[in-house]
Structure 1
Amino acid sequence: MNYRKATIEDIHLLMELRKTQLVDEGIKADKDIDKELEAFFEKKFTDESLIQLIAMEQNEIIATGAIVIYDFPPSYTNKSGKKAYVTNMYTKNEYRGKGIATSLLTKLVDEAKSLGITKMWLGASKLGRPVYKKFGFKETDEWMELEL
């Protein structure tokens, strides 16, 4: 298995993975969201506010994870104002429980740190919540956060 950063050339693969993830999370696929997904990925890759990692095995994407970088006003607890939102964390069923999501998350944390980001947050599914808690994320009223 190898890990790499996704690029703008991977957009259509990422779109399909995102739709699979949403259905696996119980969201009904009753709308065509291809145009919106493609626009999202194009914009985020172009302005470099998305870091999407993929885990590959035999030329197949088996897992993915991403951070979207947001600029907030600087504060006393976050001098740069930059935060990373963890999203698109997804592992195909047959590969779950093997530490792949934890590896992806570790690599995303390293990417965030290299950019001077000191705060990460996410909205966790029931399936993902234990992974994030074990990693060190703390629950708040609405989110889970990790101080880096």
Structure 2
Amino acid sequence: MNYRKATVADVNLLMEWRKTQLVDEGIKADKDIDIELEAFFRKKLAAGSLIQLVVEEQNEIIATGAIVIYDFPPSYTNKSGKKAYVTNMYTKNDYRGKGIASSLLMKLVEEAQNLGITKMWLGASKLGRPVYKKFGFTETDEWMELEL
């Protein structure tokens, strides 16, 4: 298996993977989000605030995972203020249960550490929760959301 960082040349592929992931998680594909996805991937990849890894086997993408880097005000528990949000974690059905997601997550943690980031967070799907818990992520009551 080959792990590599996605580039702007991969934008169309990343868009399709994201849409597949969302549908697989039970989200209804009732809107066209191509323009927004393309803008997101182009902007974040160019700015270096998205590190998207892809896993290939025999020139076929079999998994993907990413961190989006955000700047928050520094705090006593996070001096730099930088945090990495784990997203776009998705593995093809035939490759699940083989440790690929855990390996991807480890590589994303290394990327974050290389950038001096000490805090990571995520919103886990039901399928992903066991992977993240096993890795050491803990559930908190911190998050609240307002839908506008």
Name 2:104's counterpart in structure 1. 104
The one-letter amino acid of 2:119's match is: K
Identity %: 85
Question: Is the aligned partner of 1:79 residue 2:79?
Answer: yes
Structure 1 runs, 4 residues or longer, greater than 4 Å off: none
2:32 pairs with 1:12: no
| 1:62 and 2:65 are equivalent in the alignment | no
How high is the TM-score relative to the length of structure 1?
0.95
Q: Which amino acid aligns with 1:63?
A: A
TM-score, length basis structure 2: 0.95
* Cα deviation 1:62-93 (Å, max 9, x = unaligned): 00000000000000100000000000000010
**Which one has a larger percent strand, Structure 1 or Structure 2?**
1
Question: Match for 1:119: what amino acid?
Answer: K
> Matches of residues 110-125 of structure 1 in structure 2 within 5 Å?
110-125=110-125
Q: Which amino acid aligns with 1:133?
A: K
Shift of 1:140: 0.3
Give how far 1:47 is off: 1.0
Q: CA 1:56–1:123 in structure 2 vs 1: closer, same or farther (change >3 Å)? A: same
Q: What amino acid maps onto 1:33 in structure 2?
A: I
> Per-residue deviation at 1:46?
1.3
CA contact (8 A) 1:123 1:142 kept: no
Aligned length: 143
- Structure 2 distance, partners of 1:14, 1:99, is 21
- How far off is 1:123 after superposition? 0.2
Structure 2: runs of 5 or more not aligned? 144-148
Deviation at 1:141, TM superposition (A): 1.2
Give the deviation of 1:58 after TM superposition: 1.1
Q: Please, which runs of 5 or more residues in structure 1 have no aligned partner?
A: 144-148
RMSD: 0.8
Match of 1:27 in 2: 27
- Whole-angstrom distance in 1 between the partners of 2:102 and 2:117: 19
User: Partner amino acid for 2:42?
Assistant: E
> 1:142, CA displacement in angstroms?
4.8
Deviations 1:91-117 (A, max 9, x none): 010100000000000000000000000
- State the match for 2:133 in structure 1: 133
Q: For 2:45, what is the secondary structure of its paired residue?
A: helix
